[in-house]
């Protein structure tokens, strides 16, 4: 059975994720991410879910995608050993 991917957000990243969703087309995805957030800042993803997050980070230059990159760049870089 595949092991899930766990990342941990810093307090400022958690605050950024908790900001209101705005009025773009990604509200459902934002809510899904928010529901995954645990009190300690950890988030657990299956391989498929993690791929979905990374793909959304790469879509265009919209405000929501920029927020995703701001929130998840550090923990994903650490997960991959890039920092």
pLDDT in tens, 3-47: 899 999 999 999 999 887 766 667 888 889 999 999 999 999 999
- pLDDT for residue 39: 94
8 A C-beta contact, residue 83 and residue 74: yes
pTM here is 0.84
10-46 burial, b if ≥16 CB within 10 A, otherwise e?
A: eeebbeebeeeeeeeebeebbeebeeeeeeeeebebe
Is 1 a residue whose pLDDT tops 60? no
- pLDDT for residue 24: 62
Q: In which region does residue 2 sit, left (phi positive, over 0), alpha (psi from -120 to 50) or beta (all else)?
A: beta
């Amino acid at each position: 059975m595949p092991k899930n991917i766990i990342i941990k957000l810093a307090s400022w990243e958690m605050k950024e994720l908790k900001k209101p969703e705005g009025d773009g087309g990604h509200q459902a995805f934002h809510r899904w991410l928010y529901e995954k957030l645990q009190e300690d800042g950890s988030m657990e993803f299956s391989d498929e879910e993690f791929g979905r997050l990374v793909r959304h980070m790469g879509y265009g230059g919209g405000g929501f995608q920029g927020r995703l990159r701001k929130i998840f760049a550090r923990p994903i870089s650490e997960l991959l050993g890039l920092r």
